[in-house]
Structure 1
Amino acid sequence: MKIQSVAILGAGAVGSYIIWGLSKKDNIRLGVIAEGDRARRLKESGCAINGAVYRPEVWTPQEAQGVDLLVVALKYGSLPGALESIKTAVGSNTVVMSLMNGVDSEELIAAQVGAEHLLYSFIKVASHKEADGYHFDPDATLGVIYGERFAPFESERVKAVRELFTDSGVNFRVTEHIQEEMWSKFRLNVCNNLPQAILGAGVGCYRDSVHMKAISDGLRRELEAIATARGIDLRIADAVSHGCAVPATARYSTLQDLDAGRHTEIDMFSGALMRMGKELGIPTPYNEYTYHMIKAMEEKNDGLFDYDGTEEPTWAK
């Protein structure tokens, strides 16, 4: 098996890293799936990444049909509307890698195209958007972690993706514990991404405030209880995964979304844990509070609370 064509669905913070890396490969066709105004903008302006402009091909889902590798790099809220495009692009031999946050996008995609197409994966990249496009530090980026859920772990498609990423700009690592490592990243997002978003402070807050640490620890206990009930042993991930140094000023994706007035991926984080907790009979009070707080902050960004004094009074009791 050899990967000769790659389509990327979602050319944002995560997709930009893959575009940047694979643009260095001259023996593949690289395209971004887009339609309408977005396709027009990509064709006209390309993708601005780390101070340079990259120009992958721009394909409709029909033009991408049968691509060797489809990389899904969407925001969670965009996935339901993109499932039909994914279904169209996936051919009989297409491998699908979802680099979305969370732990359930593979299941949603598999329901449309079949689980046999999914090669489980996730990404660790600190990418952010500035006026001149997306930026990240290539040397500090851990990159794509991927692997088969079940043996044989050294499958033909694992080898093909390794060959694709080798000598590209994409950092990568193959793991035999992909589900445990995905849940480990999920834990990081829930425990470190969400509380700082409510506070509006850099990640140094977890080190410098016992109160922020208490909230983070509460979210962690709930997540780990659910993971254990689902047969996920996070101790395995703790033994094989590697962290990286992060400046105290770092603002993770949920806070970046709120800063920019966008809706967040809270449904994929605390929302998913609340659903799983109900199914398993595990209480999730920290996640429920966090979920509703961030939803209310989204409503604030939407202008719901922009009162001008002419509204009917409310009554405090």
Structure 2
Amino acid sequence: MKITSVAVLGAGAVGSYVIWGLADREDIKLGVIAEGERKERLSRQGCAINGKVYHPEVWTPEEAENVDFLIVSLKYGALPGALESIRKIVGKDTSVMSLMNGVDSEEIIAEQIGKSHILPAVIKVASHREADGYHFDPETTLGIIFGEYEAPYESERVKAVKELFAGTGIHYRSTEYAIEEVWCKFRLNVCNNLPQAILGAGVGCYRDSEHMKAIQNGLKKELEAIAEAKGIDISKADRMSGRGSAVPPKARYSTLQDLDAGRHTEIDMFSGALMRMGKELGIPTPYNEYTYHMIKALEEKNDGRFAYTGEEEPTWSK
């Protein structure tokens, strides 16, 4: 098995890492999925990454039909609207890797195309957008971790993906514990992204405040209880993980970056998903419920819902 065509659905912070890594491979066809005005814009302007502009091909879903390898790197809220495109792209022999945050994008996609097409994976990249495009540090980026749901773990397509990434600058490793790795990243996002987003402070707050650490630990205990109830042993991924990437205390992770920019966040994918799973399993999730509603209220604030002028009808306190 050899991968000769790759489509990227979602050319943002995560997709940029893949485009950057594969752009110089002359033995594959690399394309970004887009339609309408966005297709015209990407065809004209390309993808600005780390100070350089890359020009992958730009394909409609129909033009990408039966591509060898589809990488889905969308924001969670965009996934429902992209499912039809995914169905059009995926052919009999297409493998699909979801590099989205959260723990259920693979399940959502599999409902449309079948689980056999899915190669579970997670990406760890600190990518952010600046005026001149997306930026990340290739050297410190941990990269893409992937593997089969079940044995044989060193399958032909795992070998093909390793061959695809080899020598590209993309950091990667295969694993027998792909699902555990996905949940390990999910825990990182829930426990590190969300409390600082409410406080509006850099990640140094977890080191410097016992109160922020307590909130972080409360979220962690709820998540780990749900994972255990689902038969997922996150410690298997912990044993494979290194120390991680060093970040400055002022660093602001993606949820806070979204709020800073006035965008809606992916809180439905984080605490929203844990609340739903907690109800299904009978596990209380008070820390996640509070966090969910606080971040939703901050989104409403960004939307201008609380921009009172003094001319509104009075509200009554009791």
TM-score (norm 2): 0.99
Q: Which amino acid aligns with 1:266?
A: I
CA drift of 1:244 comes to 2.0
Q: Is this contact kept in 2: 1:226–1:282, CA < 8 A?
A: yes
CA contact (8 A) 1:24 1:169 kept: no
CA distance in 2, matches of 1:258, 1:169: 31
Amino acid at match of 1:252: Y
Alignment partner, residue 108 of structure 2? 108
Q: Percent identical across equivalent pairs?
A: 74
CA distance in 2, matches of 1:158, 1:9: 20
**Secondary structure of 2:92's match?**
coil
Unaligned runs of 5+ in 1: none
CA shift, 1:24, in A, is 2.0
Aligned with 2:139: secondary structure?
A: helix
| Shift in Å, 1:309 | 0.9
1:264-311 Cα offsets, whole Å, 9 max, x none, are 000000000000000000000000000000001011111111111111
- How do 1:162-311 residues align onto structure 2 when only pairs under 5 Å count? 162-242=162-242, 243-311=244-312
SS in 2 for 1:97: strand
Asked whether 1:128 is paired with 2:125, we answer no
Matches within 5 A, 1:92-103: 92-103=92-103
Cα distance per residue 1:195-252 (max 9 Å; x no partner) = 0011111111100000000000000000000000000111111111122212111111
Query: Unmatched 5+ residue regions in structure 2?
Result: none
In 1: Cα distance, 2:257 partner to 2:65 partner: 33
State how far apart, in whole Å, the 1-side matches of 2:238 and 2:19 are.
Answer: 30
CA RMSD after TM alignment? 0.6
Q: Secondary structure at 1:8's aligned position in 2?
A: strand
Amino acid aligned to 2:311: T
Query: 2 CA distance for matches of 1:87 and 1:302?
Result: 33
Matched letter for residue 316 of structure 1: S
2:70 maps to 70
Say whether the 8 Å CA contact 1:61–1:88 is kept in structure 2: yes
Q: For residue 23 of structure 2, what is the amino acid of its counterpart?
A: S
Q: What does the per-residue CA deviation read over 1:127-179, in whole Å, with 9 as the maximum and x for residues that have no partner?
A: 00000000000001011000011000000000000000001121101111111
Q: Is the CA contact 1:141–1:171 (under 8 Å) kept in the aligned structure 2?
A: yes
Which residue in the other structure is 1:141 paired with? 141
Deviating above 6 A after TM superposition, structure 1's stretches of 4 or more consecutive aligned residues are none
SS in 2 for 1:287: helix
Match of residue 24 from structure 2: 24
TM-score, scaled to structure 1: 0.99
Matched residue type, 1:39: K
Letter in 2 for 1:130: E
Q: CA deviation at 1:258?
A: 0.5
